[in-house]
Structure 1
Amino acid sequence: MVEFRLSAEHQRFVGWARATAAEQLVPLARHDGRVNRPLLRAMGDLGLLRAAFGGTGDQPRDAAALQLCLLRETIAQVSAEAETALALQGLGSYPILQSGTAECVARWIPQVVSGQAVAAFALSEPDAGSDAAALKLRAERDGAGWRLTGEKMWISNAPDADVYSVFARTTPDARGKGVTAFAVPGDTDGLSGEPLDMLSPHPIGRLVFDGVYVGPDALLGEVDGGFAVAMRTLDLFRPSVGGFAVGMAQSALDATVAHVRTRQVHGGPLARQQAVAHRIADLATQLEAARLLVYAAAAAYDAGDQPRDQRRRSAMAKLFATEAAQQIVDGCVQLHGAVALRSGHLLEQLYRDVRSLRIYEGASEIQRTIIARDLIDLDASR
């Protein structure tokens, strides 16, 4: 039975993260759609990036899922840009931490944790998004190393990252069983890219690999074992996407509760309208359900549950929390009225920021497929 009550240690951690983000990170936010290096360096100096890996020393340990979820939820309530920057550092570098050689880990992880190096997770391609096993970026043997040729698309922190966790095809026509992961420095010869303009100002871009050479020290895990590296990373980070969603939804709900208390309509506060009060109650209940699903998935990961159970819980948490957050933010915009549609308003920013969560790191439809496949298990019924 999973205990959902946060420990005193977790509550102290949340308080520290919230105060630190509000005081130190908000003044550094830019919202210009490019990597914010001063913001990352500040998060490194403050210990927030190290906390994303579950550690407190110079060398982080394997990530603690619940701490990561709490961190993302808390920072999202203060600054979506800071939360995104922190999360992308973890997502981009976790394949290196979990599967890189000792030399590769020593080269990159201390720089990532300090905010001196920007990391990125390069899995998606123009024709391999939800079906990640269909990726076509080729990795062909060249002496002791490989040459990478092809394209990556929708890559967060591209083209400005210092290191990319890249997933490439080493065995043709083998789907997920023929993918290998590599750590590729951003300044490698033959690697280029361009930023993409998005609905929300988020650092994301396209990468082109023109015979990019990587040596044997760049290998993450085993040859043809890269898909497992990617999935282990996503199993950890998917619940924390739910944490991000919960944090944004909480920010929207807090602003809306304050608004309906003070907004005067028909001689009294808007909150006295029963339809409004009941809508607030429904939104708050959705939010709490999402939060509990996220915590349950994170607790299952930290407890070392079976990978299949972890994957299902992660999918449920990501699915429900991101869908709920979209509904909650939309409902809060409705209760604010036209003022929430004005450029620069908190709700206007959240309305744009929340939409991508239902797509990246596995769209909602993919999460439903994962859940249904596990529950129905057609192979076991034969």
Structure 2
Amino acid sequence: MTYSTLSAEHEAFRSVVREFARAEIAPHVAQWDRDHHFPVDLVAKMGDLGLFGLTAPEEYGGSGGDFTSLCVAIEELGRVDQSIGITLEAAVGLGINPILTFGNDEQKAAWLPDLVAGRALAGFGLTEPGAGSDAGATRTKAELVEGEWVIDGAKQFITNSGSSITSLVTVTARTGTRTAADGTERPEISTIVVPSGTPGFVAEAAYDKLGWHISDTHPLSFEGCRVPEENLLGERGRGYAQFLATLDDGRIAIAALAVGCIEACLEMAREYALERETFGGPIGRKQGVAFQIADLAVAARAARALTYEAAAMKDAGVGGQELKQAASIAKLYATEQAVTATRIATQVLGGYGFMEEYPVARFYRDAKILEIGEGTSEVQRMLIARGLGLPVE
């Protein structure tokens, strides 16, 4: 039984997504994982269910729902497979939301309908070989020449960036320099929409990753890539602030994905502990096993509480430092507990947990990236400490 403070409508929606995941994902996910196959047909079905449009206005084909509903959907997909969960999270949080939040009417009308319907996907090109957590160290440049942005540089680890239905990538780039209040020169970071197929923009071969085998992830290169001046997203020089706002929401959504991972591990470990017998009885009667599973139940409930508290704050219009603190706390706790949960579940299953034929092995591989993507655990601790007034660097 699921206990939560969510509304009856949220719980009814949870049941819909859970049934969808069991019917459309569970029977195929092991094979997709082995083949490193990105299921475009499934994306279309997710679009038909309205998952990509949960937070988008009706005028663009969305349902105008709340952020909590998106977290519920991500959690439920993540209970069956983390790669599918991150596909939804990145498609909405990193693909749709920047355009929805910072785009003008023309940009929204041009890009959002297909993204909201699941006919297309979009990526967010932030991370670079030398600029991960230090996003201010961006080296990709964009120069305005005769009404066009000429982009040169490289991005890495970009989700939903090279699939057959990827329509665009929003890219952060240096567009000049600005003088800070202390008199120092600092890079001016802006965000620019680059459509797929633009000459000079290449999604390189997909990564061979430890986990998230189903997720579409590529390095990107830009060489003399030209896009119209009007592809600037939002105000010039506000790209860094836009990225920070985008990540606050994304951290809550990643926490929801981690909750799904913990719940899956709890379910797998509990079922196995009831079925597996040694010395004349189920292993679940042994305290060494039962106590570990009890710890998973505690972690699941605590992670869910932190995650949905942050989501509720987002829906209530809470912003600034209060939301940032709640998002970082939820992301840090839920993701670290997810990694621990996969270790415990694998241990409970013993040798079977080490076999790829059992889902727990896939969850074990998939979990580690949760502590890295959208801000590492170290970055979250730094942000939380700063929120407490500590002058940490």
Say whether the fold is shared (TM-score over 0.5).
yes
CA deviation profile, 1:36-72 (whole Å, cap 9, x unmatched): 3212111112212222x26667533777321221111
Is 1:95 matched up with 2:95? no
Alignment of 1:21-40 (within 5 A): 21-27=21-27, 29=29, 30-31=32-33, 32-33=35-36, 35-40=38-43
- Give me the whole-angstrom Cα distance separating, in 1, the residues matched to 2:121 and 2:186: 27
Is 1:67 matched up with 2:62? no
With normalisation by structure 1, the TM-score equals 0.93
Of 236-245 and 166-175, more deviation after overlay is shown by 166-175
- Give me the whole-angstrom Cα distance separating, in 2, the residues matched to 1:104 and 1:34: 31
Question: Structure 1 residues 57, 348: closer, same or farther in 2, change over 3 A?
Answer: farther
Aligned partners of 1:37 and 1:115 also within 8 Å: no
- Give me the whole-angstrom Cα distance separating, in 1, the residues matched to 2:331 and 2:117: 28
Matched pairs, number: 375
Alignment of 1:6-155 (within 5 A): 6-27=6-27, 29=29, 30-31=32-33, 32-33=35-36, 35-51=38-54, 53=55, 58-60=60-62, 64-90=66-92, 91-155=94-158
Alignment of 1:182-201 (within 5 A): 182-194=192-204, 195-200=206-211, 201=213
- Give me the whole-angstrom Cα distance separating, in 2, the residues matched to 1:361 and 1:37: 24
- Give me the whole-angstrom Cα distance separating, in 2, the residues matched to 1:288 and 1:320: 11
Alignment of 1:1-382 (within 5 A): 5-27=5-27, 29=29, 30-31=32-33, 32-33=35-36, 35-51=38-54, 53=55, 58-60=60-62, 64-90=66-92, 91-160=94-163, 161-172=166-177, 178-194=188-204, 195-200=206-211, 201=213, 202-378=215-391
Of 196-205 and 152-161, more deviation after overlay is shown by 152-161
- Give me the whole-angstrom Cα distance separating, in 2, the residues matched to 1:254 and 1:126: 38
Question: Structure 1 residues 141, 58: closer, same or farther in 2, change over 3 A?
Answer: closer
Question: Structure 1 residues 62, 16: closer, same or farther in 2, change over 3 A?
Answer: closer
SS of the equivalent of 1:162 reads: strand
Of 124-133 and 71-80, more deviation after overlay is shown by 71-80
**Alignment identity in percent?**
35
Question: Structure 1 residues 166, 280: closer, same or farther in 2, change over 3 A?
Answer: same
Aligned partners of 2:122 and 2:161 also within 8 Å: no
- Give me the whole-angstrom Cα distance separating, in 2, the residues matched to 1:121 and 1:46: 24
- Give me the whole-angstrom Cα distance separating, in 2, the residues matched to 1:63 and 1:223: 30
Letter in 2 for 1:187: G
Letter in 2 for 1:19: E
Letter in 1 for 2:146: G
Report the RMSD for the aligned CA atoms in angstroms: 2.0
